[in-house]
Amino acid sequence: MTEVFKGVFTQQEPIPDAAIEAALRVLRSGRLHRYNLVGDEVGEVALLEREFADFVGARYALAVASGGYALATALRAVGVKPGDRVLTNAFTLAPVPGAIAGVGAVPVFVGVTADLTIDLADLEAKAGEARVLMLSHMRGHLADMDRLLEIARAHGLTVIEDCAHTMGATWKGRPSGRDGLIGCYSTQTYKHMNSGEGGILVTDDEEVMARATILSGSYMLYPRNGTVPPEEVFERVKYDTPNISGRMDHLRAAILRPQLAQLEAQCARWNERYRVVEDGLRGTPGLTIIERPEEEGFVGSSIQFLLLDWSEAGVKEVLSRCKTRGVELKWFGGARPEGFTSRYDSWRYAPSQTMPETDRILKGIVDMRLPLTFSPDDCALIARIIRAEVGAAWQAGQVAG
């Protein structure tokens, strides 16, 4: 009998009871706005900022409306202006080049390796074209951060980290988001903490944080934030930094704080499921596993593999076979964006040059969510289905370009 998976790949776990109770307290108060406080009260948003800063070991944290807003705020806070060129990964999702284009800057795409990380040789070759690198840890894959920082220092590059997929991850024990000048995180539903939408920005730089705080829409109420630079820093920047309102509210912060307390345990659960799928796929003919380096403490909330040098028809056949059996896979090789996938040459607002080796990798990337609503047994079943259908296509000779 052919096995069929009946789970839902977009179904998240329920919000924890403690978060629901905290949200109800905020709703009953009627005071959702982050600066709607009484006396010396410390609101939910400020508490979240303090707790998240402690979690990643940063001096400052700022809670905002979305991960994309955090990225755009980071660019503005380091002085990126219209027409400036900003380096970023060719393998990423639309909010990253969108944040760059949104401030009037120009994305300059850097290639991807078969490890699904930024191509450091290509980065070094292009480093002189910009003064900022917006580094996307796409789908949770961390590059050799030590080597990347060497390149950045040698070329005077300011590094902003997009950690939408690496909240809770580490490189040699250093939390993701702490190697660059600024780390940006997302709390959108499909990320590692769920507030529907939301974002957090961290840095140790007091002027960057002061600018980011004013940009977020603090008016002159910034002393009520959770982690606050000295008053004299705000005095230097407050009259030439615009208010581009994008604050987080107390309701979302209240939902997130109990999730932050559970994050390390949740990351371990994701990794358990990731390893089950990885072990089940290992050795499948025609399928390449992405080997994770020892230095990387990853969070396996999704898994990727390569059908390298397969034909488009062959990849689509695998996706169709798996979908028929209930397994939803995404492909990054399509000419048009589909199902939250896209390619660097899809974004017509961002000029690009052909990168043959990067194109080869992108055409082989297959991607799958691993929500915590799946059990390890579910993950083993999913792996069996993928293995069988990749194997069937391989044996049928449907892979040739």
* Percent of the chain whose predicted confidence (pLDDT) is above 90: 91
What does the pLDDT look like over 313-361, one tens digit per residue?
999 999 999 999 999 999 988 777 676 677 888 888 888 888 999 999 9
Instruction: Compute, in degrees rounded to 10, the torsion defined by CA atoms 253, 259, 264, 270.
Output: -120
For residues 356 and 246, membership in a common domain is answered with: no
Question: Are 327 and 224 in a shared domain?
Answer: no
CATH code of 387's domain: 3.90.1150.10
pLDDT tens digits along 276-312: 999 999 999 999 999 999 999 999 999 999 999 999 9
pLDDT at site 226:
97
251 and 182 both lie in a single domain: yes
Confidence at residue 210, expressed as pLDDT on a 0 to 100 scale: 98
DSSP state of 306: E
Residues 245 and 292 in one domain: no
323 and 347 inside one domain:
yes
Instruction: Indicate the DSSP class of residue 12.
Output: P
Q: What is the mean pLDDT of the chain?
A: 95
Q: Please indicate, yes or no, whether residues 40 and 168 belong to a single structural domain of this protein.
A: yes
pLDDT of 401 higher than 80: no
Output the CA angle 208-213-215, nearest 5 degrees: 95
Name which of 185, 177, 187, 227 is nearest 206 in CA terms.
227
Give the Cα separation of 124 and 383 in Å (integer): 38
| Confidence band, pLDDT 50/70/90 cuts, at residue 1 | low
| Count of domains for the chain | 2
1 lies in a domain? Answer: no
Classify residue 17 by burial, with Cβ atoms within 10 Å: 0-12, 13-18, 19+: exposed
Assess whether 116 and 212 both reside in one domain. yes
pLDDT in tens, 53-81: 999 999 999 999 999 999 999 999 999 99
State the pairing for strand pair 85-89/132-136: parallel
Structure confidence at residue 334 (pLDDT): 78
| pLDDT value, residue 339 | 66
Residue numbers of the domain that contains 174: 17-257
pLDDT for residue 368 is more than 90: yes
Are 164 and 137 in a shared domain? Answer: yes
> Terminal CA-to-CA distance of the chain, rounded, Å?
32
Q: Per the domain annotation, does 2 fall within a domain? A: no
Please report the pLDDT score of residue 348 as a whole number.
Answer: 86
Domain assignment present for 220: yes
Instruction: Check whether residue 229 and residue 344 sit in a common domain.
Output: no
Torsion angle of the four alpha carbons 87, 92, 96, 100, in this order, in degrees rounded to the nearest 10: 30
Is the pLDDT assigned to residue 251 strictly greater than 70? yes
Task: Answer with the one of 257, 279, 305 that is the final residue of a domain.
Answer: 257
32 in any annotated domain: yes
How far apart (Å, rounded) are the C-alpha atoms in residues 314 and 398? 5
SS3 state of residue 87 = strand
